[in-house]
Each structure stands twice: as C-alpha cells, then as structure tokens.
Amino acid sequence: MYVHLGRDYVLNDRDIIGIFNLETTTISPRGREFLNYAQKNGAVVSLSDELPQSYVLADSPVDTIYLSELSPAALKRRTETTVADLDSRVLQLPK
C-alpha cells in the first residue's frame, strides 16, 4: 500500500521505518544531531513550505527523512488505511 506524505509525494509503506514528531525529536541533543547529520548528507526532503510537524524515516533505497506538515497521528492513520477500508467507503446504492 502507498502512503500520501503531503504535497504530491507517496511512499510505499514497506519502506517506512518510522514516523516521528519533529518537535519532540529536536528537544533531545541526540535527535538534533541525527537530523543535522541527515541534512548535511543530503538525506532530508522537505514536502512542505509550511512548518513541518513530523518526519518519516524511510529506506527507499537509502535512508531518507521526509519532512511533512501533517501530524504524526495523521500519517499513522494513513498507514493503517487498507484496501478493505477504501472499499467500505464506496457509495452503496439501495437495492
């Protein structure tokens, strides 16, 4: 299944390592160090002109961080949506 991360970007859910809250990550010195290292190595992709709320760490084909304006909870819900969920949303006409 594919997950829409924001803007026009989708990612295969099998490539997602984790979804993280950007604010809580940047509180920790280790979190800031991790994000700075990724930025210096060109592994950060911004998906929004707005202030990002979350980031997705993905392995596609190399470790990449995708900054998203969507909340971690919204992204998590998108990963949990299955084809069966989408089928149940199809308009059912009365018989």
Stretch 16-25: mean pLDDT? 95
pLDDT tens profile 32-76: 999 999 999 999 999 989 999 999 999 977 899 999 999 999 999
Token pair listed for 53: 């709320």
Rounded distance between C-alpha atoms, residue 12 and residue 91, angstroms:
27
pLDDT tens profile 25-35: 999 999 999 99
Single out the residue of 5, 2, 4 nearest to residue 55, CA to CA. 5
pTM metric for this prediction: 0.82
Q: What pLDDT sits at residue 60? A: 74
Token pair listed for 67: 């900054």
Q: What pLDDT sits at residue 6? A: 87
For residue 78, give the amino acid letter: R
For residue 42, give the amino acid letter: G
**Domain ranges across the chain:** 2-82
Buried b (16+ CB within 10 A) or exposed e, 17-44: eebbebeeeeeeeebeebbeebeeeebb
